[in-house]
Structure 1
Amino acid sequence: MKRIWILHILLFAVSITANSQQLSVEKIMRDPKWMGTFPTDIQWDDKGQTIYFRYNPDQNPADSLYKISLQNPSDIQKVSLTEQRSLTPRNARYNHAKTKRIYSQNGELMILDLVTGNKQSVLKWGERIGNPNFLANENRVSLESGNNLYVLDIQSGKLQRLTRIQSGNKPSDKEDRAADREKWLKEDNLALLSVINEREQKEAKSKAYQEATREKEPYSFYIGSKAISNLQLSPDENFATILLFTRAENKSTIVPDYVDASGYTVNLPTRSKVGDNPPTLELAIYDLKKDTAYMVGVADLPGITDLPDYVKDYPEKTWEPKERKVTFGAPVFSRDGKYAVVNIRAIDNKDRWIALIDLAEGRLKSLDRQRDEAWVAGPGIGGFGGGTLGWLPDNKHVYFQSEQSGYSHLYILNVETGEKKALTAGKFEVFDPFISKNGKYWYLTTSEVHPGERHFYMMPLMGGKMEKLTTMTGNNEVSLSPDEKNLAILYSYSNKPWELFIQANTPKSQPKQLTFGQSEEFKTYAWRDPALVTFKAADGADVPARLYTPDPAKKNGAAVIFVHGAGYLQNVHKWWSSYFREYMFHNLLADMGYTVLDIDYRGSAGYGRDWRTGIYRHMGGKDLSDQVDGAKFLVQNHGVNPGKVGIYGGSYGGFITLMALFTASDTFKSGAALRSVTDWAHYNHGYTSNILNEPFNDPIAYRRSSPIYFAEGLKGNLLIAHGMVDVNVHFQDVVRLAQRLIELEKDNWEIAIYPVEDHGFVEPSSWTDEYKRILKLFNDTLLK
């Protein structure tokens, strides 16, 4: 009996092993629920005893809120709606000692005492309350409602309105502009009729007396047609700052939805195109003591009239230096209210200033200028108005991130002396730094160990040795408990999706896994741990890549290169990819004998400023040559036949695929371009203008970067796939390209359209159809 039992076990193991090797497009492109359920969106309770997260173990239509108590970490419980409503909102503000939190809820202002756990309603307003905050005197709090600021004295309960901000334009005294004929008639009539003249004079004197004795109307700040984006009070209650948002009037593109539920074709209004006017954010200051408001000027910013370097390529044009338009971030006040700093961006995004605001005069003093002839970006530097910016507890040092060294690092700067100091340094990047509760340490995530790893560290406030707190190889996304005793870690590895771990906040502590979300079906397959490799580019750069290799017995000599989307994104790393479907598809390809390479080409995230901006003014330049050099690497080192190399990708990856088939056809025999940009002049402003400037100012950059201009070079086999309701890269892009290919009499291409899909596909049937076509393309063209 024992032998029979062992035989059954062995047969079952063989069966599982066999099944584990049988991937199919239909299987991996199903609703991702088949893989299991994985936690997201971590949040602690106020006492640091319970972890909340989104989860879906019951396979419901959407994730729900679940929790794990540290008292019983093996028990995962679904959170009731009643408990959800009782949770403190994430945007609740702390007082300086972090013993209280203030927030608004349903028109009511609430203060939570973190020591006692008591919640107190301090104001029942009945209307929306925005941006509540403790002031320097923590018995007083500021709040915004109806685009005006108020201060509540908690002890007395007195509520005071501070500002009078009104939409529209200030009423003006209109002079009597009657026609000359009417004026003459009135004057003549008054000269002839003395009684009428006397009455007129009495009325004028009465009106003048009323004006003289009338109480002066309080000052109002009129904002015209602009909208208030941010309104806040200085902690010392002397000034208010106002961000004024102006939406640009641009012509938008229309995307027709042919399969709307109504049965009619419905036009979806979407974005405008690159080169259109972007929205702006201006900064105003409301002096509460002088009861007046004024705009902040930018004339004092160094380099505000600088021209970009690319103008030298257009000597025939006249370029006159002028004050560039800028956009402001929200000002950040020191705790005592003495100082305020602001992040300012030039609209062309070639300059970012950290500036000190002279609140009384409305002037700016630049503390740090980051100039980039390409565009200013990087971790913690963010887009317009975003990025790391704050104050140290001493009210003298401001902190921010900069790519001054070529990598995004953390800096502090003394606003009184101007002394700047880098707290981190090296060929790695810093993410999400914040100061500890006691004000003595930094907590931060970095890529110091490896560009493809993320770990959590602590470091002395004024700089020093970073101490690594996490130990698991991969990505450790840490949420620190409010008492700073524990780390809730969302962790994943290359072939292991995200799970939740708990760890004590001490170095070398062992993390404990709390969730186990993989389905049994998902676990039956031995998902590959792709090798992280580098190869030399033609210009000598070391290019990082993920390599999937087949079983030598199944190797077919063919290769597929995958090009990730988004441009500025990292996919060569040691954690679970956001491209999980593509990851599974690459496992399927490797099972079939293909060698697969996934490259972090020039323009990708994770490798510093020079890598990030390597595509400036020429998309389809080094980002494409990196793919070509990757193919050569496979031929030279991994036994790939040079005539059997395919390429595919979506969005930016689709764009590179088109450029590869049109301009590097000797390297790539076939390619699948998914939801691809075909002409950068038709993409959006925020993304494209950073890299290629504006088409009417820098047409050279657009001409050499857009695939539609190179379509005559198509020699290999091309599959184009696109969603018809794509509001990001519009279906119009591939329609124009299709017409170009028709006019060029190309017959080695085909197009697959998906009527119900946006930029990111949703329906499993669409994913399946698309990837069956991709697989067929490669099998038909690379294996023959």
Structure 2
Amino acid sequence: MFYRNLVIVFVILIAPGSLLAQNRDVTVQDVWRGTFYARSTSGLRSMNDGLHFTVLNGADGSIDKYSYESGEKVATLLSSKEIEKKTGQSIQFDSYQFNATEDKVLLGTESESIYRHSSKSYYFIYDLKQGSLSKVDAEGKQQLADLSPTENKVAYVYQNKMHVQDLDGESESISFGEGKENALIAGAVDWVYEEEFSFHKGFHWSPDGQYIAYYQFDESEVPTFSMDVYGQALYPSQDVFKYPKAGEVNSKVSIHIYDLKSQKDHKVELPMAVEYYPRIKWTSEADELVITTLNRHQDHLILWEVEVEKKGLEVEKLYEEKAPAYLEIHDNLRFLDDNSFIWTSEKDGYNHIYHYGEDGKLIRQITKGEWEVTEFYGYESGSGYLYYQSAEESPIRRSVFRVKLDGTGKEKLSTKKGWNDATFSSGFQFYINRYSSASTPTLETLHRSNGKEVRVINDNEGTQKRMEMFRLSPKEFIQIPNEEGTQLNAWMIKPQDFDASKSYPVLMFVYGGPGSQTVEDSYDAFNGFWYQALAAKGYIVVSVDNRGTGARGRDFRTQTYQQLGKLETEDQIAAAKWLAKQKYVDGERIGIWGWSYGGYMSSLGITKGADVFKMAIAVAPVTNWRFYDNIYTERYMRTPQENPDGYDDNSPINHVDKLEGAYFLVHGSADDNVHVQNTMRMISALVKADKQFDLFIYPDKNHGIYGGNTRNHLYTKMTEFIEENL
């Protein structure tokens, strides 16, 4: 759902230098040919020694080993040519995974996407020592193949069931769990878990390789959603999948532990009924699993410790947390060598790091203050340091810190003002710092764990030089008060030849959803430069983070609880009214646009704020939260049965009679996330109310609406609509 998760796939066609005349204006075509794209390292995997990393070189079909310190290539560990030479088999792999001892490699071939995170492939295992190749034994493509941490076995999901194959051939493959299309899933997860709990692998090996903990889903009673896929054939096909909308029944989920030695399947029986199982994780003990559970309102979380014993499973409550509104799920649970654990929580009003004993009792709160820990990187036992990212300096910026387990020795590691993020090597010997600001493309530097810079990895000098060829306006960070006097973070881009004595039209960009941010001091190679193109045409572009957005503490974020859209819209309207009072703004020409949650917000803006906004563009909008999935929606709204007014009072569908300005609806017909149903229902309401509007549907495009020339076409169309109506 979140804007930051939209995936953009494109081919970078940097314009020749002769086309980049000095001081030329940015165009839509410049943006979507990748002129301002900032390179960054991706896909590197730290090796066990923490001194080297590997990268998949797709062009050469090889896995190459590099030194962190020097950046030099040390060796080619495996290549398609080597496989063919030693085994006589020709395979082109597109993914890889080492086993725990790094002497075998799991290779994925012919991979194809399923949903946002999930995919399926044909899998092979290559033995680096013996030079032999094994194939995962299944007739079709498999999901989630994973090598045992201790034995020569591979586990995977095929036809919705769990399978384990002995690669030595000493024992037959085994299968367990129940599988049936659109009914039963073992080892993977259903659509809504994948989308809203952000994971798709539904099984985990125990550290000693004896057990596999796995999810079992029964989605047979979940309502089915279908989408037409038009394709190129004479007749369209249909994509049919289970999708629980707000208030509808969920999959029945259970957690199982399979013992590979005894080949017995143990179902975990908890002492109370729960709705969701958003995480499972083995502790530092080989026979202890921790299960995270949530109630349906998602305001009561419990960590259950499950111990595998000869007599079965012993279950105890390890940790419990309740919230006044709701809890967000994270991946910050870390078990230390003594089985004590690290946990992050916003129970004091801001997200911070806590240390608990193996009995679940609090040892200490490690970080404190009226600021948020925004990312927890991990703990290094040798030095005793924890590493994290925070918004301590400003909600619109990020810095990297470290602190001792006992809360002492806090150090800021990043040095530049803007947006810093770190990726650590195994053992925390090195980290790559990725820095950018609103005016600086990504700068990647390698550091030792104490923050000392070792070398520059990537400075995007080419992008910097291309930027110098264009007329660009600075992104100014400001604060705008809402009606209650709360200062809202915002940014503004003015025309390059701005004259304060003139008045300009304004386009506001909004997302506005819970915990999100659009006001960030970070580089934006795409929308950020589209706004430069609009500025060159004489528009002021503004974005405001309304109440409910992130990095300002729990209470600021949860104000919108059970009334999504109400306070957010009030804040956007208040910001537009404040802008209209500025002498350099034409208050009669203010527009608003957004995507996804932002499309919902722009639709509310042009209806509930009809006296303020002259035009709106809504891309892939939610138009009533009744149409969206239950895990996301009910977290913030509870169910429609419990809170019908919360759903309907701020549904744009119920405010179409107020529409006066120009309204442009855009949707992809194959959006499995925010269904095109939202736009179709909005159309029906607009027609009934006799309101004119513009519409464009992108056939077979999903929530991201990308691929080929699609983004260039969409942004050209939006630019033309803005010019015609603002």
What TM-score, normalized by structure 2, do the two folds share?
0.77
Alignment RMSD, CA only? 4.3
Q: In structure 1, the residue corresponding to 2:223 is in which secondary structure?
A: coil
2:227 paired residue number: 255
* Whole-angstrom distance in 1 between the partners of 2:571 and 2:35: 35
Alpha carbons 2:165, 2:174 under 8 Å: kept: no
1:399 paired residue number: 342
1:557 aligned to 2:504? yes
Q: What does residue range 664-683 of structure 1 map to in structure 2 within 5 Å?
A: 664-683=609-628
* Whole-angstrom distance in 2 between the partners of 1:83 and 1:525: 45
Alpha carbons 1:66, 1:77 under 8 Å: kept: yes
AA paired with 2:711?
W
1:20 aligned to 2:23? yes
Query: Compared with structure 1, are the counterparts of its residues 238 and 82 closer, same or farther at alpha carbon in structure 2 (3 Å cutoff)?
Result: closer
1:366 aligned to 2:317? yes
Shift of 1:562: 0.5
Q: Which of 277, 283, 287 is matched with 1:327 structurally?
A: 277
Shift of 1:653: 1.0
* Whole-angstrom distance in 2 between the partners of 1:522 and 1:574: 17
Q: What does residue range 133-212 of structure 1 map to in structure 2 within 5 Å?
A: 133-134=149-150, 144=155, 147=162, 166-167=176-177
Q: In structure 2, the residue corresponding to 1:253 is in which secondary structure?
A: strand
Query: Compared with structure 1, are the counterparts of its residues 131 and 389 closer, same or farther at alpha carbon in structure 2 (3 Å cutoff)?
Result: farther
1:410 aligned to 2:353? yes
* Whole-angstrom distance in 1 between the partners of 2:263 and 2:701: 54
* Whole-angstrom distance in 2 between the partners of 1:528 and 1:684: 40
AA paired with 1:334?
S
* Whole-angstrom distance in 2 between the partners of 1:529 and 1:562: 17
* Whole-angstrom distance in 2 between the partners of 1:486 and 1:652: 38
* Whole-angstrom distance in 2 between the partners of 1:569 and 1:55: 34
* Whole-angstrom distance in 1 between the partners of 2:365 and 2:82: 42
Query: Compared with structure 1, are the counterparts of its residues 405 and 93 closer, same or farther at alpha carbon in structure 2 (3 Å cutoff)?
Result: farther
1:503 paired residue number: 447
Q: Which of 570, 581, 593 is matched with 2:517 structurally?
A: 570
Q: In structure 2, the residue corresponding to 1:329 is in which secondary structure?
A: strand
Shift of 1:410: 1.6
Q: Which of 206, 224, 227 is matched with 2:186 structurally?
A: 227
1:353 paired residue number: 302
* Whole-angstrom distance in 2 between the partners of 1:634 and 1:78: 58
2:432 paired residue number: 488
Alpha carbons 1:651, 1:674 under 8 Å: kept: yes
Shift of 1:526: 4.8
Shift of 1:710: 0.9
Q: Which of 38, 42, 45 is matched with 1:43 structurally?
A: 45
AA paired with 2:359?
E
Q: In structure 1, the residue corresponding to 2:341 is in which secondary structure?
A: strand
* Whole-angstrom distance in 2 between the partners of 1:326 and 1:721: 33
Question: Counting strand residues as a fraction of each chain, which structure ranks higher?
Answer: 2
AA paired with 2:222?
N
| The 10-residue stretch of structure 1 (465-474 or 62-71) with the greater mean CA deviation from structure 2 | 62-71
1:744-784 deviation line (CA, Å, top 9, x unaligned): 1123x2223333533212256443443344334433444xx
* Whole-angstrom distance in 1 between the partners of 2:63 and 2:380: 28
AA paired with 1:105?
L
Alpha carbons 1:280, 1:327 under 8 Å: kept: no
Shift of 1:400: 1.7
Identity %: 21
Q: In structure 2, the residue corresponding to 1:602 is in which secondary structure?
A: coil
* Whole-angstrom distance in 2 between the partners of 1:126 and 1:640: 64
Q: Which of 465, 474, 478 is matched with 1:533 structurally?
A: 478
Shift of 1:590: 2.4
1:372-405 deviation line (CA, Å, top 9, x unaligned): 353310xxx33xxxx222211223x122222212
Q: In structure 2, the residue corresponding to 1:284 is in which secondary structure?
A: strand
Alpha carbons 2:606, 2:661 under 8 Å: kept: yes
Q: In structure 2, the residue corresponding to 1:330 is in which secondary structure?
A: strand
Shift of 1:584: 1.2
* Whole-angstrom distance in 2 between the partners of 1:84 and 1:599: 54
Q: Which of 442, 466, 476 is matched with 2:410 structurally?
A: 466
1:774 paired residue number: 718
- Gap regions ≥5 residues in structure 1: 1-14, 95-99, 112-117, 135-139, 170-223, 301-322
AA paired with 1:552?
F
Query: Compared with structure 1, are the counterparts of its residues 704 and 110 closer, same or farther at alpha carbon in structure 2 (3 Å cutoff)?
Result: same
1:753 aligned to 2:712? no
Query: Compared with structure 1, are the counterparts of its residues 101 and 448 closer, same or farther at alpha carbon in structure 2 (3 Å cutoff)?
Result: farther
AA paired with 1:264?
Y
2:422 paired residue number: 478
Query: Compared with structure 1, are the counterparts of its residues 465 and 636 closer, same or farther at alpha carbon in structure 2 (3 Å cutoff)?
Result: farther
Q: What does residue range 101-116 of structure 1 map to in structure 2 within 5 Å?
A: 101=102, 105=106
Shift of 1:621: 0.8
* Whole-angstrom distance in 1 between the partners of 2:132 and 2:407: 41
Q: Which of 647, 670, 679 is matched with 1:725 structurally?
A: 670
1:207 paired residue number: none
1:425 aligned to 2:397? no
Query: Compared with structure 1, are the counterparts of its residues 89 and 103 closer, same or farther at alpha carbon in structure 2 (3 Å cutoff)?
Result: farther
* Whole-angstrom distance in 2 between the partners of 1:241 and 1:399: 22
Q: What does residue range 44-123 of structure 1 map to in structure 2 within 5 Å?
A: 44-48=46-50, 50=52, 69=67, 73=71, 81-82=79-80, 92=98, 100-101=101-102, 105=106
2:34 paired residue number: 32
The structure with the larger Rg is 1
* Whole-angstrom distance in 2 between the partners of 1:126 and 1:654: 44
Question: Counting helix residues as a fraction of each chain, which structure ranks higher?
Answer: 1
Query: Compared with structure 1, are the counterparts of its residues 239 and 66 closer, same or farther at alpha carbon in structure 2 (3 Å cutoff)?
Result: closer
What TM-score, normalized by structure 1, do the two folds share?
0.72
Aligned residues: 653
1:123-180 deviation line (CA, Å, top 9, x unaligned): 989759745225xxxxx8987579578999xxxx99899x9875569xxxxxxxxxxx
AA paired with 1:23?
V
Shift of 1:671: 1.3
1:762 paired residue number: 706
